[in-house]
Amino acid sequence: MEELTKQQIVLVTLLVSFITSIGTGIVTVALMDQAPPGVTQTINRVVERTIEKVVQGPAQQTASVITKETIVVKEDDLVVQAVEKNSKSIVSVIWISGEGDSLKDVFVGNGLVVGKDGLVAIDPSITGQVQDFEGNFVPQKFKVIYSDRLTLPVSIVPASASSKIIFLKPIFDGVSKPPIFSLASLADSVSLKLGQTVIALGGEKVSVATGIVSNLSEKLGDTSVSSTATSTADIVALKNSQIIKTDIHTIGKTLGSILVNLSSDVVGIRAISAGEGDNFYIPSGAIVAALAKVSAATTTASVIR
């Protein structure tokens, strides 16, 4: 070392630093592989986002000052935001059973506010028909309780027997000023990916559970949903008819419970048509398609009149 020149000493120092950094990286990766799942999960859930701020100097100066700020966004924060936003769009659907003085309110499921007029999307089986002793269908009465505890009677918007989604329209008799409703933001369910983190919300008193998308298929057990599609429109139609399977088994037991992504958008809704399991959902695209049919029917009726 004593015989080395200053330039050679600098080069040797750089070489040693390079070799040390490589060794440190290898050791770190090896330790991460052996670390408990809880540790790696916590590390993987931290997302770093860099924001660049450009500060203009005086007119005579051409140089600008660029400040870089690193903001840490945790998955927990995104979950909390999604829950706060979407819990305002969930309603409780109440079946009014009995007659006269024996009326009783029975919670039968959840619904999702999708219209400015308070229109609620629900699973058709929630309003299942009831027969009397003579085999005649008995008209059913329902009401919905919105997030602000506003309770309104509703009418069922007609839908075909094969419809995956139907709607409840609030009746404003006696309401002096129509309320302002919190509408759900429906995601493009075609972009849903396997392994994506999702949040389930539902229940008479809204509960929350998190998990991942574990399967996407047109039918249960069929993972080749787009194998027969011949165009982009075919692929979209097929994926809108998909069944979303998750690893969440606690909230999905409630019909009408919803599935939300970390962007706070609704990606699915629990319905009997998705399957008997309590962790199956139909995509938000089914709600969009049903809304389009209802809007078209309303427009046609207006023209006929």
Tens-binned pLDDT, residue by residue, of the chain (305 aa): 666 777 777 788 888 888 888 878 777 767 666 656 555 555 555 544 444 455 555 555 555 566 666 666 688 899 999 999 999 999 999 998 877 778 889 999 999 999 999 999 999 888 875 544 555 555 678 999 999 999 999 998 866 556 788 999 999 887 777 788 999 999 877 778 899 999 999 999 889 999 999 988 765 444 444 444 444 444 445 455 678 999 988 776 789 999 999 999 999 999 888 877 778 899 998 899 888 888 766 543 333 33
Residue 194 phi, psi (nearest 5):
-65, 140
Position 182 scores a pLDDT of 92
What are the residue boundaries of the structural domains of the chain, listed by start?
A: 88-170, 189-292
Position 229 scores a pLDDT of 46
Q: Which two tokens stand for residue 290?
A: 């049903």
Radius of gyration of the chain (CA): 28
Position 210 scores a pLDDT of 93
Position 83 scores a pLDDT of 94
Position 164 scores a pLDDT of 83
Amino acid code (one letter) for 190: V
- The CATH number of the domain covering residues in 189-292: 2.40.10.10
Task: Tell me whether domains 88-170 and 189-292 share a fold.
Answer: yes
Pick the CATH number of 88-170 from 2.60.40.650, 1.10.630.10, 3.40.1440.10, 2.40.10.10: 2.40.10.10
Position 252 scores a pLDDT of 63
Position 275 scores a pLDDT of 74
Position 299 scores a pLDDT of 47
Q: How many helices (H) and strands (E) does the chain have?
A: 5, 16
Compute the distance between CA of residue 157 and CA of residue 173 in angstroms, rounded to an integer. Answer: 17
Compute the distance between CA of residue 68 and CA of residue 50 in angstroms, rounded to an integer. Answer: 7
